[in-house]
Chains A and B, each alone.
Chain A
Amino acid sequence: GQQVQQSPASLVLQEGENAELQCNFSTSLNSMQWFYQRPEGSLVSLFYNPSGTKQSGRLTSTTVIKERRSSLHISSSQITDSGTYLCAMDLNNNRIFFGDGTQLVVKP
């Protein structure tokens, strides 16, 4: 079954709006990561976030391990934020499972 559930599947924003992306895990996990996948497919690691809150510029990640969830908040979205956001969980055996991703489109 699907071990990593991401929501929403897609999101359309006007430039300047905020976005909240969610990730839920069906099993206990060792850690989790957020990635940005560019339209051409390459991956950028955003956060490695076993627990708690981390911030980088306009991005904030909050993970609550015991509740098996993580969120990614994008503030003041820009057109260049468009792409796919993937969350992935790392089980104790070091295998990473990816969610289906959230497709974000930011319009001018």
Chain B
Amino acid sequence: GPKVLQIPSHQIIDMGQMVTLNCDPVSNHLYFYWYKQILGQQMEFLVNFYNGKVMEKSKLFKDQFSVERPDGSYFTLKIQPTALEDSAVYFCASSPDWGQDTQYFGPGTRLLVL
């Protein structure tokens, strides 16, 4: 079935540095999402994105976070600067339509901030 890819699978970074997480969504999908799961905790919604714009974001989507998808390439989540509490697995998802179809999830990027 359709697959969402995430690059890299793991990332270790020093606190204060910038990190970019990359998502390659399903090719004909229009809606994109990021979720965050801290180890041992519930997965939580961060942001959704459509037509070049953030549609909705949660309180977890701090000012240090930004998303974009330049020219139909990767859908990215950038954190600048990173903090220790940003250590988590970040899942990307995409869907073809708004509220009508399942979201397809990537395998996640495990981020460790030291």
- Taking beta carbons and an 8 Å cutoff, which residues of A are in contact with B? 30-31, 33, 35, 41-43, 45, 48, 86, 88, 90, 92-101
CB contacts between A and B, total, < 8 Å: 53
Interface residue ranges, B against A (CB under 8 Å):
31, 33, 35, 37, 42-45, 48, 55-56, 58, 89, 91, 93, 95, 98-99, 101-105, 107-108, 110
The answer to whether A43 and B45 have CB atoms under 8 Å apart is: no
Chain A residues touching B, majority SS: strand
Q: Does B103 lie within 8 Å of A30, measured CB to CB?
A: no
27 A-B pairs, CB-CB below 8 angstroms? Answer: A30-B99, A31-B102, A33-B102, A41-B89, A41-B110, A43-B91, A43-B108, A45-B102, A45-B104, A45-B105, A86-B43, A88-B43, A90-B99, A90-B103, A94-B31, A94-B48, A94-B55, A94-B56, A94-B95, A94-B98, A94-B99, A95-B45, A96-B103, A98-B42, A98-B43, A99-B42, A100-B42
